[in-house]
Structure 1
């Protein structure tokens, strides 16, 4: 098509007219039915006014040549066309910002008691306004000087940022806020108790917001096409000596960018107005909205529209229920046991008319009455839209192997996700280095940005979330940060900007840092602690497998054609898919029952071995000595690992310059060995003590690194690949052992251990400096040898210090158990004699001597016949301990 004027004009006008109709109907509903206009209504009206100016500028531009090739635009229309484009460009972000502010202000009226929901709204408002103002400023000052945007011929030295580039760069922010606005009300809606038909209508009503995100994605597809055309035009213009917008044919390839921007804004206005139309629809078509089966005689006394009288009645009806003692609440018996009442029809105060929900201008008691059931329902049941009841899980520390399989399998998906992301980033950074002609130091900068996220997020974000809100919230937050990082890849690709790539890598690293803060201890603690190292090595093996799979997909299928800046833009769809999957996974984690481990449970488990854990080594409690050395060892190991992987390509080129296999092929073989090694480590720890396996791995790393320094040719490369195999089980084994005996400090310890991964930021630089100084990559392996040698102090300490052996060696069938109540007198006597829960018996510890581990439990062992009288607290006992404690 040689003329884009007509479709741009028609589509823009049609969508604006539809949006205007929705705005008009919204105000008819608010003024004619509800009789009140709220702040979010005025913001919507302001958004429509800005949208009118935006649409008018586009339509005016089409009459002056927008949609035609620049060669077909009359020179007398250039100033008018440039003015229209400039005005439309400036008004786009304020229109979106005001529209989203209207929606978010409306969301604030959904609940006045849910602090997390309201703070999430405030955070989104901040992001929307900060991004909107920043992007508006970028649009206003897109040219230097500003007048060059309208009179480019008069400014020979002027420089301008392309509009399509600005639009594509802002796409991640728009998508992130669109998805956030779509997901934010979901927790509130799922707590409402409404008749099924009204509930379905409510879901559909709020689901209209997804259309805005869909249109945004379609718009990005056209922007990508425009960006590709832009790159081609720039090369043509540069060869012809033209560098302005006129020489790049912007009037042609920018037309559809403006059109789809108008579609996005007007679709957003329509979707935002849909909830406000409910009172009008209920007045015109009451049976369609309510239905004949939704109203009971009790409910008929409540007006379809809220009045102060029936609000007072509803408050009065709730007061007697709220004054009940806790023992009389449904789901609670007199003796503290759980009683599940049979399902009954909701009472009037538990029901909520949807017109009340959508028509009111602020928080009301109706909202509170609709959600009050959450506090009084069965305490061990989580309701999902009244359709599915999901039992809340018990503490992860009380789970046996069989019970821990589902939550461990679910969390292992997170390991797969960051393995997938790491593989993609690794290949893409290599491609970007080629496209942007980066030197080795700049490439290490990209690498350091990713691992720099680990230095920041575990202690600042992960630890706070994990200690205060638990594993579920930390998982969700990490996934959201990771999704934001993948979306921010878009401006990186569009601008081919090294700085933008640094930011994208850093945010992805922050997301992974938060995930690792929670995921690693979750796997280690979920189930009997004797198998902590096995579980963690297996999950980390899945992560390593995902990194191999993603590297193959990236190199052979997804990124194989990425050879220039234009093709780099097309990679964004891979990252969009990853981001959307992350968001879906975050929603799934919100509703799925994720077991937790409170500080009290962790302390109770640790106290069962307090005699072992309280022993001092050179005046320091053994648990802190072990943890400190574990942190140091992990820091050295990760530093050596990353120094090795960043130097591997140059090492292979130096050793086998004529090899038929590429450096990518060798690296892929090494990563495959790494994945296989983690599976082997998990299997070996089934019958060998983890500390001995760790010692063997470290010794192998030191020997292989020394040999790589001194051997040349293919032999050196083969030994370098075997370094991957010996690296495989180190990280997981150290992490799991470092948490043993930490008790209430376990979550903080996990955050510190996750921070040690930030060593990958530091040590590749001295290794590269050694290459540049001595001109030899093999010689630079001296840095790697030194790091692995320092890290080996930890397994040596575990092998030769008896107190450390007792602390870290697995205890069979070690997990918490809930017991029946015993008499107050017996419990008091037991605590008086022992100062707390009964300690483990004094005897020669099974960990002394030998490398073989005790037989592991496959499922929960039945209580022995000599089991002592149970106690009410959650305590850890094992089959090995029952016979001993029964005689005390």
Structure 2
């Protein structure tokens, strides 16, 4: 009698690890968008110029740039768990550093704390983004990453709510009022505004460290045997010769710069172009931006079942370009509405550029991912450029900087669409079609 075939071994399930990984998108969305509130708060507490407030994003995204490659190498050498736990510990410790920084009322200490947080986020993003593209059918990687990233705007909205209700006091003094105060009164005012960040970041730090403990107890997928060699320096040298990845890195640098710059200066734009608008109302404009961003992420991801991702990316980036140019030229409430609406069309851009960039890299995927995470340095570069131009020509004119970035992203999307169509006849279910 023929013997029955042995049943195939059951595939291990990583439900806990996947749920925790999705939560990471929430955690770094919260951290990133708390920076937008910090810029407004530090401008008031330390009497900074627009360019000086951009140091918040410059230091933050420089941390991503510095640690992206080490994070990719650690992920390949020790696995996803080690990279994620390392990232969470650094994130938590950086948040806790806000307490002594506020007690000492030193802007430089805040910047150091933000650098530590960003170093942790570099590990988290370098591990989580490729993990979500590897779990499942490669043809659905773009949609899968977009769905996972849907937790990101939820975290962003949470960050803005924390900032609005627990950091921004709503107390604003003009130069004449400050000049009329005694030195002791001014010192007290600045001290209260600086210490407003202590309690929120203390709670965040403790929560993130608790996540690190949970992550250490979970089982994660094993690493790809070929990934360790691919994430060596020779692997990084190979990926920089991939035109699709390099163009994607440029597009990602510009996209992150545009997104960070827009959100960093939304409150500033609102108060500068709509006379008499109070601080909390300006923060509400940022809150609505994030709601539109979250809505766009869900609608855009659902649309990818019918529209090729690269085509949708081109359309969204083109509309974002038009809206930011309109905001720059018109200003006022109408310009603010256009700037806020831009967030809907930014929603799918980061994960779509990411998935298009790493498509077809095989074992080089993690090395390629680190290059795209390094491109997050755009958040520092373009935010600084916007702040510099704002100090000289006004915040409305400075919005032409992100507009130019969106124009380049349109070019990348159209190029990626043509390359995908040439490769496989334009399969609608592919990543880049």
Q: TM-score range by the shorter chain?
A: 0.7 to 0.9
1:533 aligns with 2:181: no
Q: Is the 8 A contact 2:289 2:341 kept in 1?
A: yes
1:543 and 1:705 map into 2 onto residues whose CA distance is 23
Residues 531-610 of structure 1 aligned to structure 2 (within 5 Å): 531-557=140-166, 560=169, 564-566=190-192, 568-569=194-195, 571-600=197-226
Equivalent position of 1:663 in the other structure? 282
Partner of 1:262: none
Q: Write the distance in 2 (CA, Å) between the matches of 1:516 and 1:531.
A: 19
Partner of 1:631: 249
Q: Tell me, in whole angstroms, the C-alpha distance in 2 between the residues paired with 1:409 and 1:424.
A: 23
Give me the whole-angstrom Cα distance separating, in 1, the residues matched to 2:108 and 2:19: 37
- Going from structure 1 to structure 2, the CA distance change for 1:745 and 1:732 (only over 3 Å counts) comes to same
CA distance in 1, matches of 2:28, 2:320: 25
1:760-787 residue CA offsets vs partner (Å, 9 max, x unmatched): 11112222333333x3333222222222
The yes-or-no answer on 1:441 pairing with 2:67 is: no
Cross-structure match for 2:381: 762
Unaligned runs of 5+ in 1: 1-336, 339-379, 381-390, 395-402, 604-619, 808-844, 855-888
- The offset of 1:453, in angstroms, is 0.7
Structure 1 residues 708 and 407: alpha-carbon distance in aligned structure 2, compared to 1, 3 A threshold: same
What's the counterpart of residue 264 of structure 2? 646
Report the Cα offset of residue 564 of structure 1.
Answer: 4.1
1:482 corresponds to which of 59, 76, 91: 91
**Alignment gaps of 5+ in structure 2:** 1-5, 172-188, 230-237
Q: 1:789 aligns with which of 373, 387, 407?
A: 407
CA distance in 2, matches of 1:513, 1:457: 6
Q: How big is each residue's C-alpha offset from its partner over 1:121-159, in whole Å with a ceiling of 9 and x where there is no partner?
A: xxxxxxxxxxxxxxxxxxxxxxxxxxxxxxxxxxxxxxx
Q: How far apart are the structure 1 equivalents of 2:273 and 2:41?
A: 23
Higher helix fraction: Structure 1 or Structure 2?
2
Does the 8 Å CA contact 1:404/1:526 hold for their aligned counterparts?
no
3-state secondary structure, aligned to 1:792? helix
| Cα 1:513–1:429 shift into 2, 3 Å | same
Pairs within 5 Å for 1:840-851:
845=424, 847=426
Distance 1:780 1:623 in 2: 34
Query: Is residue 805 of structure 1 aligned with residue 424 of structure 2?
Result: no
2:79 paired with 1:500: no
- In the other structure, the counterpart of 2:311 is 692
Superposition CA RMSD, Å: 2.9
Give distance in 2, aligned partners of 1:638 and 1:478.
20
Taking the TM superposition and a 5 Å limit, the aligned residue runs for 1:133-152 are none
1:506-558 CA distances to partner (integer Å, 9 max, x unpaired)?
Answer: 11111111111111111121122222222222222212111212321332246
Residues 683 and 482 of structure 1: CA distance in aligned 2, closer, same or farther (over 3 Å): same
| Count of matched residue positions in the alignment of Structure 1 and Structure 2 | 398
In structure 2, distance between residues paired with 1:663 and 1:504: 26
- Give the aligned partner of residue 81 of structure 2: 472
Change (3 A) 1:442 1:720: same
* Corresponding position of 1:713: 332
Which fold has the larger relative contact order, with Cα–Cα distance below 8 Å and residues 6 or more apart in sequence? 2
Which residue among 388, 411, 422 is the counterpart of 2:21? 411
Match of 1:722 among 320, 326, 341: 341
Deviation of the 1:567 alpha carbon? 6.5
Q: Is the 8 A contact 1:408 1:526 kept in 2?
A: no
How far does residue 708 in structure 1 lie from its aligned partner after superposition?
2.0
SS at match of 1:662: helix
Deviation at 1:734, TM superposition (A): 0.8
Deviations 1:658-695 (A, max 9, x none): 45772111111111111211122221123322111111
8 Å Cα contact 2:61-2:380 kept in structure 1 = yes
Match of 1:222 in 2: none
The answer as to whether partners of 1:466 and 1:473 remain within 8 angstroms in 2 is yes
Q: Structure 1 residues 776, 601: closer, same or farther in 2, change over 3 A?
A: closer
By how many angstroms is 1:428 displaced? 3.5
- Distance verdict in 2 for CA 1:709–1:571, change over 3 Å: closer
Aligned match of 2:351: 732
Task: Give the deviation of 1:602 after TM superposition.
Answer: 11
User: Hey, what's the Cα distance between the residues in 2 that align with 1:404 and 1:594?
Assistant: 6
Provide the secondary structure at the position in 2 that maps to 1:686. coil
Q: Is the 8 A contact 1:602 1:743 kept in 2?
A: no
Among candidates 406, 410, 422, match of residue 32 of structure 2: 422
Greater Rg over alpha carbons, structure: 1
Per-residue Cα deviation, 1:218-237 (whole angstroms, up to 9, x for no partner) = xxxxxxxxxxxxxxxxxxxx
1:518 to 112, 121, 127: 127
1:561 deviates by: 8.3
